[in-house]
Amino acid sequence: MIVKEMIRKGMVEFFETEYKEVLQKLDQLSEATKNLKFEGKLSYGKNIKEVEEVIKFLEKKLSSHIALDEKIIFPFLEAHIPKLEPVLRFLRAERNEFKVNLEVFETLFKKLKEEKMEPQQHKIIEELREKGIYLVCLMRNHIQAENESVYKMIDQQLREDEKKELVRRCGHFNG
């Protein structure tokens, strides 16, 4: 299914669709953390559930996307478009930054769920909001950089047979 979709749409459009979904979830995370602060106890459960949903989505999406890039796409590009190597190193570092900060966000979130004292909850919520804003900005920047620097280069720099080979390899990838 992934191969047919990539062939039909092309790499850039295929990943733009994926990115839209991620950006929508990031907006949902931003909104839910904001609402934790401003909506109070009335919507606390709903906002907690939303944050949990987004965290699970991001972990799943991030791990599968990173695995595909690291095992298939990036090595292929390093071999076929060597000038992309510095960009790929930067994207890897940025991903590591995101993963570390997502883990910190999750730890804060678990702490919030366990905390019963309201003043402490407010402090944790504020930390969550700050970390959430950073995660959203970091991921938005990463998506833009990856799309502009990597996926558009695939369409522009690879020959048709190379593109088909890359898509075929992506299609056989099981993560």
Which residues, other chains included, contact 158 with Cβ-Cβ below 8 Å and sequence gap of 6+?
80, 81, 166
Q: What is the pLDDT along the chain (175 residues), one digit of tens a residue?
A: 555 666 566 666 777 888 889 999 999 999 999 998 888 777 888 999 999 999 999 888 888 888 889 999 999 999 999 999 999 999 999 999 999 999 999 999 999 999 888 889 899 999 999 999 999 999 999 999 998 888 888 888 999 899 889 988 887 877 6
Looking at the structure, give the CATH architecture of the domain made up of residues 2-172: Up-down Bundle (1.20)
What's the pLDDT at 172? 80
Domain boundaries, the chain: 2-172
40: left (phi over 0), alpha (psi -120 to 50) or beta: left
What's the pLDDT at 117? 87
CA 77/CA 80 separation, integer angstroms:
5
Burial 58-73 (b: 16+ CB within 10 A, else e): beeebeebbebbeebb
